[in-house]
Amino acid sequence: MAESIASIRELRARLSPLRRQGKSIGFVPTMGALHAGHRRLLETARRETDVVVASIFVNPLQFDRKEDLDRYPRTLESDLAFCGAAGVDLVFAPPVSEMYPQEMLTSVEVHKLTETLCGPRRPGHFRGVATVVLKLLEIVQPDRAYFGEKDAQQLAVIRRMLEDLSLPVAIVPVETVREPDGLAMSSRNLLLSPAQRRIAPMLYRALLLARERVEGGERSAGKILAAIEPRFAENPEVRLEYFEIVDPRNLARVDVIESPVLIAGALWIGTIRLIDNLGANPGARPGSLTEAKGLRL
């Protein structure tokens, strides 16, 4: 089981001599309920750095709905065992009172990148994400920090924040880990009922079908979206929040597909919100054709 530290002062005291010895520090911020996607992040950090620090902190600032915060899985004991098995050296698991001992009067806002996809649907979410990530990076002061590509908008926001603020941390994106049926690994998957879990891969299949159209030569984003979006309405348990094709550099919506794009979607199954994304390259050979063949939403 990995060693857990709850105090900012203690964590800094443990890391400071290691930093002076020239040890490289890798950092994986999480909210716990760890799964195979987190394992890939942790193992990548383990290969690339001398000291691996993971954080487990359910950040209240990034939840726009209190019921979502209250319901978020909290599995600290099993998470510590998980981190130990993945070779983590230290786990920073502070209580809310340690991270936010008083009312927060300071926050970080990244504009433009948060005006599409999840941003308008989750007011304040990315402000909460950027604020806690900046605070964690200042506490840990890692050389490299690892984030999953499943949260593509979060990754873009954090990258831009670090660029704008000139922070000396390398952001390392790590490929999405999926279940055998394609569902992206997520802590929220634990909240799905067996029936909902069977429905959940439909978002991934929709992304595959959209990518197939891009790689098959369709250049109109509007035509692709018009063909894909109605399929979600066929299942009464599903509510599509968005399905969009954007520029991966600035997350702006794309009308004519002339260069690589990001296809991203979010849907609700009951009260559970799932997100996912895939890249698509109009210049690529249609590699998704076989993968998507026969799949239906």
Taking only the tens place, the pLDDT of each residue in 194-214 is: 999 999 999 999 999 999 999
What distance, in Å, lies between the first and last C-alpha atoms of the chain? 41
- The length of the chain is 297
Residue 86 has pLDDT above 50, yes or no: yes
Last residue in a domain, options 174, 196, 226: 174
Question: Is residue 32 one of the residues assigned to a domain?
Answer: yes
Question: Is residue 16 one of the residues assigned to a domain?
Answer: yes
Question: Is residue 297 one of the residues assigned to a domain?
Answer: no
Owning domain of residue 224: 187-289
Pairwise CA distance, residues 145 & 147, whole Å: 7
| pLDDT band, residue 286 (cuts 50/70/90) | low
pLDDT at 156: 98
Residue 289 has pLDDT above 60, yes or no: no
Question: Is residue 182 one of the residues assigned to a domain?
Answer: no
Considering only CA atoms, which of 248, 256, 254, 238 is closest in space to residue 278? 248
Of residues 285 and 131, more confidence is placed in 131
| CATH code where residue 237 lies | 3.30.1300.10
Which residues are part of the catalytic machinery? 38
Mean predicted confidence (pLDDT) in 156-161:
98
Lowest mean pLDDT among 111-120, 175-184, 225-234, 278-287: 278-287
Last residue in a domain, options 153, 174, 195: 174
Residues 167, 56 share a domain: yes
| pLDDT band, residue 102 (cuts 50/70/90) | very high
Mean residue pLDDT across the chain: 94
Residues 56, 198 share a domain: no
SS3 45: helix
Question: Is residue 7 one of the residues assigned to a domain?
Answer: yes
Residues 102, 168 share a domain: yes
- E strand map for the chain: 3-5, 25-30, 51-56, 90-92, 144-148, 170-174, 238-246, 261-269, 272-280
| CATH code where residue 30 lies | 3.40.50.620
Question: Is residue 214 one of the residues assigned to a domain?
Answer: yes
- How many independent structural domains does the chain possess? 2
pLDDT at 1: 87
Residues 168, 31 share a domain: yes
Model's pTM, two decimal places? Answer: 0.93
Residue 262 has pLDDT above 60, yes or no: yes
Two tokens at 222?
Answer: 């509007």
Residue 295 has pLDDT above 60, yes or no: no
Last residue in a domain, options 144, 174, 204: 174
